[in-house]
Amino acid sequence: EVMRLANKLVDEGLLAHDEYIELLANRDDEVREYLRSVAQEIATTNYGHDIFLRGLIEYSNTCKNDCYYCGIRKSNDNIERYRLTLEDILQCCEIGYQIGLRTFVLQGGEDPYFTDDMICEIIFAIKEEYPDCALTLSIGEKERESYERFYEAGADRFLLRHETADGEHYRRLHPEPLSLENRMRCLEVLREIGFQIGAGFMVGSPGQTYDTMASDFEYLKKLNPHMIGIGPFIHHKDTPFRDEPDGTLELTLFCLSILRIMFPKVLLPATTALGTIDKIGREKGILAGANVIMPSLSPDNARRQYLLYEGKVGVKDKAAEGRKILDEKLAEIGYKTSTTRGDYKGWNRK
Ligand code: SAM
């Protein structure tokens, strides 16, 4: 019966709500390996054995939000807050550019210190210096007008994980005033403006069930984003979820395969969190259908302070070494890094 559902997923690219639940609840080794091999084949049919790289610049760990899972939440008094300057950020880009990266991702806490003017100035500066590079923002929820300004300034993509598509579950993960409704509204607005958009969720976050995950798959099918970011939840000792169990490698890989089958062309990263819970988690992610890796370009001291969860990997890597190591690791599984921008196929700036 579970194989029938797996075949239906492969044939039709989606399932009904209860069928997702059944597939998740009854997955076994056979179905895992079947979906993994189909997903890998779909990825290589669309993207070959090329893995796109995104240089992650974690420009601030200051945040006005208080998400219960996150290590840089407002209420965590146990971290030193930092902000990168425009010069720091450009320095990160330069290091990234030198090693062949052609996409930069500006990510940070939701830090009101950075006004829209400042964000636009950063976008302009990066785009002026590196016109052949794509720029992705991952800077949280804003008003439409702000998003419009960022797009006009030259930003190309926006990552905003929806975190969970189930309202009650969303409330368990985020205190007010955050709301699922606003999160989803932001994603709609970002798409309308013309960004390549990325949604996604944590696997194994406290309160997640197969039912909420079925809602995630359904929501993603409706949204049809260009990028999907998923990774295991990993506890952080200075958060209310310090004693909660981490998400598993196995379920994350299973979800990656489902998503690749549902979205043959989506840009799907093997995330840092996946590489944190397993030494070769990112390689396993690629073999399960992922096609993007996001090495950190943040300066050493910033990396040590941008700890969303325990044991985060890459904190000690140097960017240049990181690329070489990455290439070696990927060669072992028959893949290589690509030095192109890696846009969603068919996307053009409005
Ligand atoms: N503030 C921006 C936002 O909300 O989109 C960007 C930064 S936020 C730290 C980036 C992502 O980190 C979140 O979407 C969340 O899924 C992930 N994250 C935060 N805490 C985590 C944890 N403890 N384990 C795994 N992922 C986590």
Instruction: List the Cα angle 95/341/290 in 5-degree steps.
Output: 100
Supply the residue whose CA is at minimum distance from atom 2 of ligand 1: 140
By CB neighbour count within 10 A (0-12 exposed, 13-18 middle, 19+ buried), where does 233 fall? Answer: buried
Supply the residue whose CA is at minimum distance from atom 3 of ligand 1: 140
Predicted structure pTM score: 0.97
33: pLDDT confidence band, cut at 50, 70 and 90?
very high
302: pLDDT confidence band, cut at 50, 70 and 90?
confident
Q: Which two tokens stand for residue 115?
A: 């006004």
What is the share, in percent, of the chain residues with pLDDT greater than 70?
Answer: 100
322: pLDDT confidence band, cut at 50, 70 and 90?
confident
Mean pLDDT, range 126-132, rounded to an integer: 98
Q: Cβ–Cβ contacts within 10 Å for residue 259, how many?
A: 21
Cβ-contact 266, 39 below 8 angstroms: no
Q: Which atom of ligand 1 is nearest to the CA of 235?
A: 23
Q: Which atom of ligand 1 is nearest to the CA of 69?
A: 23
Looking at residue 295, its pLDDT comes to: 93
**Which of 70, 114, 238 for mutating ligand 1's site (highest number of atoms within 8 Å of CB)?**
70
Looking at residue 311, its pLDDT comes to: 82
**Which of 142, 161, 173 for mutating ligand 1's site (highest number of atoms within 8 Å of CB)?**
161
Cβ-contact 105, 138 below 8 angstroms: yes
User: Residues lining ligand 1, CB < 6 A?
Assistant: 69-70, 107, 109-110, 138, 140, 160-161, 163, 202, 231, 233-234, 236, 273, 308-309
Residues paired with residue 197 on neighbouring β-strands, in sequence order: 158
**How remote is the CA of residue 129 from the centroid of ligand 1, in Å?**
29
Q: Which atom of ligand 1 is nearest to the CA of 308?
A: 20
**Is 267 a residue whose pLDDT tops 80?**
yes
Cβ-contact 285, 274 below 8 angstroms: yes
**How remote is the CA of residue 233 from the centroid of ligand 1, in Å?**
9
Q: What is the pLDDT of residues 201-258, one digit of tens each?
A: 999 999 999 999 999 999 999 999 999 999 999 999 999 999 999 999 999 999 999 9
Q: Which atom of ligand 1 is nearest to the CA of 110?
A: 1
Q: Which atom of ligand 1 is nearest to the CA of 72?
A: 9
Looking at residue 187, its pLDDT comes to: 98
Q: Which atom of ligand 1 is nearest to the CA of 239?
A: 23
**How remote is the CA of residue 67 from the centroid of ligand 1, in Å?**
9
Cβ-contact 309, 274 below 8 angstroms: no
**Which of 69, 81, 105, 228 for mutating ligand 1's site (highest number of atoms within 8 Å of CB)?**
69
CA distance 73 to 68: 7
**How remote is the CA of residue 274 from the centroid of ligand 1, in Å?**
13
Looking at residue 52, its pLDDT comes to: 98
Q: Which two tokens stand for residue 104?
A: 């930069």
Nearest to 139 by CA among 125, 120, 124, 126: 120
DSSP for 85-110, written as a single string: -HHHHHHHHHHHHHTT--EEEEEE--
**Which of 160, 202, 306 for mutating ligand 1's site (highest number of atoms within 8 Å of CB)?**
202
Nearest to 109 by CA among 61, 77, 163, 141: 61
Contacts of 81 (CB under 8 A, 6+ apart): 60, 61, 62, 305
**Is 318 a residue whose pLDDT tops 80?**
no
Cα 349 to chain centroid, rounded = 22
111 — alpha (psi -120 to 50), left (phi > 0) or beta?
A: beta
**Predicted complex ipTM exceeds 0.95:** yes
Supply the residue whose CA is at minimum distance from atom 19 of ligand 1: 70
